[in-house]
Structure 1
Amino acid sequence: MASDNIQSKWAQHQFEEPTKKLKTQEDVEIFKKSSTFQEYIIFVCEIQVSVKSKMISETKDNGKFQKVVQYLQELEGLLEKNPPIQQPMRFGNKAFKDWHADMIKSTDNFLAEYLPEPIKGAIVELRVYLQDSYGSNVRLDYGTGHEMAFAFFLLALKKLGLYDTSDLEVLCRCVFYKYINLMRKIQVTYMLEPAGSHGVWGLDDYHFLPFLFGSNELVNSQYVLDPSYIHKDDILKKYEKEYMYLHCIDFIKQQKKGPFFEHSPILNDISGAANWTKVAQGMVKMYQAEVLFKFPVVKHIFFGTILPFN
C-alpha cells in the first residue's frame, strides 16, 4: 500500500518538537512563499472540493478515522467530569483549565495507541498541534488559530501516510465536523473568549473553516437555492444537519440576540451573493486575507519537521 511506503520513509526520520517561528510581519511574507503554506492551502481547497454539492448524510463512513473520532468523543466526555464552576466573570470559566489538563493526558494516550510503530516518533510533533487545538488554558479563549492547529494536525497525518486524498470527504464530515461540534460544546460550557476577535466583523466569534467547507456543500443544492435562504428559519431548521454552513448560521442565531444584520454583518452581506459558487470561491480568498496573512493569528503556528518553516 502507498500509505505503508510513506510511513516507511518516515521510520528513520528525526522528529522535533514544533516551535513558533513567525516573529514579525516580514516572517509572514516568507511564510506565504513556504512549502507548508502551499501544502496547507491546497489541503484546505481539496477538502472543500471533496464535499461539493453533497449533503452530509450522503457521506459513507469508511471507518478509517474511528480511533480519532473515539478520541474526540472521549474529550467530549471530559466536559461532564469538569463542569463549569460558579464565578463572578461571565467569560472564561476556570474549570476549562481542569478540562484542558485532562485533554493533554487523553491526547498523549490516544497518539501512543493510534500511531503505527514505525512513526511513533511523530508523537512529539503531533501532540503540540492537538494540545493547541482546543483553546488557550491561560487566556481562556479560542479562535481561528486554534482551529488551524487542528487542521495542521490533520494535514500532518496525511503527510505521514495515515490516509490519502480519496479519504478527504470522510475526514471532513466524520472528523473535522465532529471537532467543530466538540468545540461548540466547549465554547458554550466554559464561555471561552473569542481570541483576537474581529467582533461583529468576523464570520462568527470562533470559526472560519466550517463556512469555507460548508459553502461548497450548497453549490447546486435543490433545497437551499441561493445564499439568501439563510434568512428562512424553516430552511435552517430542516437542513442544518445536512449542510454545515446552515448549522453555523443556526448556531449563531441561537447564541446571539437581535437582528442578524446587526450581530453578523459580514455573513449578512455574503447572503446577498448571486450563488453559492461565488460564496465558496470568496471564502478561500477571505481565509487567506483575514486568517493566513494576519500576523496576530499566524504568529501562533507551530512548525516542526513534518510541517516546516522553510
Structure 2
Amino acid sequence: MCPSYFFFFCIGSSHEDDMPVVSFNFMLPKKEISMVPDMGKWKRSQAYADYMGFILTLNEGVKGKKLTCEYQVSETVEKLLAMLATLDRWIDETPPVDQPSRFGNKAYRTWYAKLDQEAEALVTAVLPSERHDAAPEIAVYLKEAVGSIIYKHQCI
C-alpha cells in the first residue's frame, strides 16, 4: 500500500506518464501511535521508510538550485496552490473574535468547521479523476495538518 501523503504530493510529477499503473487501497487513517514505545513500531514500518525516502528525495531535488531560478509549475502544483489560496481566503472571511481566550481564538472553530465540511471537495479538486477514491483519506490528513478542533474544545 502506498501512503496517501506520498501519493498526494507525487501525483503531478513530470514523470507520471512513465509510471506503471498501480492500484491503491485507500482507507481512513486511524491513530496507531499513542505512547512513546509506539514510535519504534512507526520507525520500523514501510510507511516510515517511504515517508523518509520522499523527504530525502525532495531534499536532493532542490540542492544546488537558486531560489530565483526559473522552473516549470505542474498542473497539480497549480491546483494545490489554488486550494491553499481558498484556505487563506477563508481566514480573511473569518476574522478573529475580540474575546479573551487562553486557548486560541474562537473564530478558529468557525474556520475549521468550514474546512471540515469542504475538505473532501478541496482534495477531490486537486486529484486526477482516477484517484478521487483517495479523497476521504487525504482529507483527514489535510484537516489534521491545521490542528484539531477536538483538542481546542477540550481545552476551553
Do both share a fold (TM > 0.5)?
A: yes
1:134 alignment counterpart: 146
Query: Per-residue deviation at 1:59?
Result: 4.5
Asked if the contact 1:84/1:93 (under 8 Å) is kept, the reply is yes
Asked if the contact 1:85/1:94 (under 8 Å) is kept, the reply is yes
1:17 correspondence with 2:33: no
The equivalences for 1:282-297 within 5 A come to none
1:45 alignment counterpart: 56
In structure 2, the residue corresponding to 1:106 is in which secondary structure?
Answer: helix
Query: Per-residue deviation at 1:91?
Result: 5.0
In structure 1, the residue corresponding to 2:151 is in which secondary structure?
Answer: coil
1:29 alignment counterpart: 40
From 87, 104, 123, the counterpart of 1:75: 87
Matched residues in 2 for 1:133 and 1:59: separation?
Answer: 29
2:65 alignment counterpart: 54
Higher radius of gyration, 1 or 2: 1
In structure 1, the residue corresponding to 2:37 is in which secondary structure?
Answer: helix
- Give the length in aligned residue pairs: 135
Matched residues in 2 for 1:59 and 1:101: separation?
Answer: 38
Query: Per-residue deviation at 1:42?
Result: 1.7
Asked if the contact 1:112/1:120 (under 8 Å) is kept, the reply is yes
Matched residues in 2 for 1:40 and 1:109: separation?
Answer: 25
Query: Per-residue deviation at 1:90?
Result: 5.6
Q: Deviations over 1:9-40 (max 9, x none)?
A: 22xx4422110112333321121111111111
Aligned AA (1:109): A
Aligned AA (2:60): V
The equivalences for 1:218-297 within 5 A come to none
2:18 alignment counterpart: 2
Query: Per-residue deviation at 1:60?
Result: 1.3
Matched residues in 1 for 2:61 and 2:125: separation?
Answer: 29
1:117 alignment counterpart: 129
The gaps in structure 2 that reach 5 residues or longer are 1-16
Q: Percent identity?
A: 26
Structure 1 length normalisation: TM-score? 0.40
The gaps in structure 1 that reach 5 residues or longer are 141-310
Q: From the superposition, tell whether residues 53 and 14 of structure 1 become closer, same or farther in structure 2 (CA, over 3 Å).
A: closer
Asked if the contact 2:120/2:136 (under 8 Å) is kept, the reply is no
Matched residues in 1 for 2:150 and 2:97: separation?
Answer: 17
Query: Per-residue deviation at 1:46?
Result: 1.7
Matched residues in 2 for 1:55 and 1:97: separation?
Answer: 39
Matched residues in 1 for 2:41 and 2:25: separation?
Answer: 24
Q: From the superposition, tell whether residues 42 and 59 of structure 1 become closer, same or farther in structure 2 (CA, over 3 Å).
A: farther
Matched residues in 2 for 1:15 and 1:82: separation?
Answer: 33
Asked if the contact 1:75/1:106 (under 8 Å) is kept, the reply is no
1:92 alignment counterpart: 104
Matched residues in 1 for 2:113 and 2:67: separation?
Answer: 33
Matched residues in 1 for 2:122 and 2:42: separation?
Answer: 31
2:6 alignment counterpart: none
Asked if the contact 1:71/1:106 (under 8 Å) is kept, the reply is no
2:113 alignment counterpart: 101
Q: Deviations over 1:34-54 (max 9, x none)?
A: 111111112112212222233
